[in-house]
Structure 1
C-alpha cells in the first residue's frame, strides 16, 4: 500500500511496509507540474503489466515495481485492485503510477485539486 501526499510543489508517494521490498522503492517525489491527473481504477489489476524490470508479480496476489509496456515505464504497487489509483505523468521516468491507497476517492481529489492550482 502507499500513502500519497502533497509536499510543497511535489506529489509524494510513500510505499509502506514490505511493499518497499517487493517494489524496490520506498518513496517517489514528482513535481506537480509533471502530474497530469489521477483516476480511481478498480479494474486495472486485470490489465496486462508488460515486462517486469525490476519488481515482483504474483498473479492475483501482488504487482509491485517497474514494468515496461508499449514503450512506457509504469510503476505498480497494488494487491487489492478495488483501491487502485492511476496517476498520469508527463516528462518523468514513469508514464504512470498505479498504486493502492487506503481511500482512492480522497486521493484522487487531493491530486486533482493540487494539479488544478
Structure 2
C-alpha cells in the first residue's frame, strides 16, 4: 500500500513496486511549501474523476495514476479495500493534487504536521 510521508521539507508519496507498474509512475516528491490544503475524504474511490492518463482504473474498485479533469491534474492511489483517504491540494508543481487511500486519514494528517 502506498505511503504518504514527510521527509524534512518534502512530502513524499512512496509507491509499492506493483503500484508503480499500475500507475506507470514512480514515487512523487513535492515541496511542503506547495501544499495548500489536506482534507479527509470519506468515500475516496468515488473522489477520483477525469480521464486516466496514464495509469490503471476499474471504476469503484481501484484508481492508480494520473487523472485529468476540469479540476486539474490529480495523481491517485486508491485501492478497493481502503474506503477513506486524503486529498492534498498542491500549487506550483506538476500535479494539482494527490488523492491517496489510507486507513486512518486523521492520524496521517496529524503525523505530517499539515493540519489546516
Which TM class, normalised by the smaller chain length?
0.7 to 0.9
**How many pairs does the alignment contain?**
115
Higher RCO (CA 8 Å, separation ≥ 6 residues): 1
- In the alignment, is residue 85 of structure 1 matched against residue 89 of structure 2? no
TM-score scaled by length of structure 2: 0.86
Closer, same or farther in 2 for the Cα pair 1:84/1:48, shift >3 Å?
A: closer
- In the alignment, is residue 96 of structure 1 matched against residue 93 of structure 2? no
The answer to which structure has the higher helix fraction is 1
CA distance in 1: counterparts of 2:77 and 2:88, whole angstroms = 12
The structure 1 segments of at least 4 consecutive aligned residues displaced by more than 2 Å after TM superposition are none
CA distance in 2: counterparts of 1:13 and 1:38, whole angstroms = 14
RMSD of aligned C-alpha atoms?
Answer: 2.0
Match of 2:26 in 1: 26
TM superposition shift of 1:43: 2.0
